[in-house]
Amino acid sequence: MKKIFFVLFLILIASIIGFSIFVKSNLSAFSSDTKNKIFVINTGDGIIDISKSLEKNKLIKNKIAFMTYVFITGQNKKIQSGTFRLSPSLSVSEIIKKLSSGGVSDYWLKIIEGSRLEEIAPLFPQGLPTTAKEGYLFPDSYLIPLYFTSEQTLEVISQNFTQKFAQAKKDSTSTLTDEQNLILASLLEREGRSLESKKMIAGILLNRLKIGMALQVDASVQYARDSQNKNIKDYWQPVSKSDLSLNSPYNTYKNPGLPPAAICNPGYNSLFAVFHPTISDYFYYITGNDNQMHYAKTLDEHNSNIAKYLK
């Protein structure tokens, strides 16, 4: 009988040692990847839920080892709810330390397609950096850490712009410079609604540029007018007849060629349309009261469309 108990005792000791080795071997970092992942602990989540989620997101090697370590060290009651940044390069003890010190605060920064810098500035808690340039703040939703400086936030947006610009430019045969294409894309963003219409308008404006014809884009006049009024709060209102005589390099009714810089921050469709325009013989376009685009080859045809669809 004593021999049986002794054997069982040895088995128990071996099991404990084996389990200890198992736990210890799974406390090291999951990998050497230092890229952070967003990890969320909701109010009410238990250690089992947290352990499963950490394992599923490949932040720890084993959920059982994690739970065992947490309970043995008495840290199960220290873990807090919140949003955390964790990387697979963190050990279990380092992860627990982060989960026990409170989450980070993030906020969503959403840039709307066609917005100008003055409309985007209020989205930056610390103010828009002076280095921000019209056209380069790519419209998208960005999850920004609250502790980021405005310059760091701008860098996140700039990286996204560079990526999307290159993607839109792929396989393009455009002879314009990147800056010229960006300016043209900003005009399309305010003038067209669908990708199809933007590609058509891009072709039309390129036709005008080729023959030295004034672009006559209302959106550029809106930008010129609103830039001269520092107290304006409601941008992009329809132009009046008097607005067309504004003295500004952005007035494309008075000045042939492209404006000196972008008039807004264009989205991906506008960038793509610039690099992949629809080739046509059209020189004129309008958006009618029927919300449809109408194109014309001659001024007479254009005036006819105006009479038919805008009056």
Give the mean pLDDT of 205-231: 95
Q: Are residues 83 and 123 in the same domain?
A: no
Q: Binning pLDDT at 50, 70 and 90, where does residue 21 land?
A: confident
Q: Are residues 184 and 135 in the same domain?
A: no
Q: What is the pLDDT of residue 126?
A: 87
2 in a domain, yes or no?
no
Q: Are residues 90 and 203 in the same domain?
A: no
CATH number at residue 82: 3.30.1490.480
6 in a domain, yes or no?
no
205 in a domain, yes or no?
yes
Between 125 and 253, the higher pLDDT residue: 253
Q: Are residues 143 and 195 in the same domain?
A: no
Q: Are residues 302 and 186 in the same domain?
A: yes
Count of domains observed in the chain: 3
Q: Are residues 78 and 114 in the same domain?
A: no
Please check the confidence at residue 8 and state whether its pLDDT lies above 60. Answer: no
Please check the confidence at residue 4 and state whether its pLDDT lies above 90. Answer: no
Instruction: Name the domain boundary from 44, 75, 99.
Output: 99
**Interval 28-55: pLDDT, tens:** 899 999 888 888 888 888 889 999 999 9
Q: How much of the chain, in percent, has pLDDT values that exceed 90? A: 64
Range of the structural domain that residue 83 is part of: 23-99
Give the mean pLDDT of 290-297: 92
Distance CA 183, CA 178 (A): 9
245 in a domain, yes or no?
yes
Please check the confidence at residue 244 and state whether its pLDDT lies above 90. Answer: yes
Please check the confidence at residue 1 and state whether its pLDDT lies above 70. Answer: no
Instruction: Name the domain boundary from 99, 124, 141.
Output: 99
Q: Are residues 258 and 202 in the same domain?
A: yes
Please check the confidence at residue 169 and state whether its pLDDT lies above 50. Answer: yes
Please check the confidence at residue 58 and state whether its pLDDT lies above 80. Answer: yes
Q: What global pTM score does this model have? A: 0.70
Instruction: Name the domain boundary from 135, 165, 195.
Output: 165
Q: Are residues 202 and 256 in the same domain?
A: yes
Q: Are residues 48 and 76 in the same domain?
A: yes
3-state secondary structure 85-113: EECCCCCHHHHHHHHCCCCCCEEEEECCC
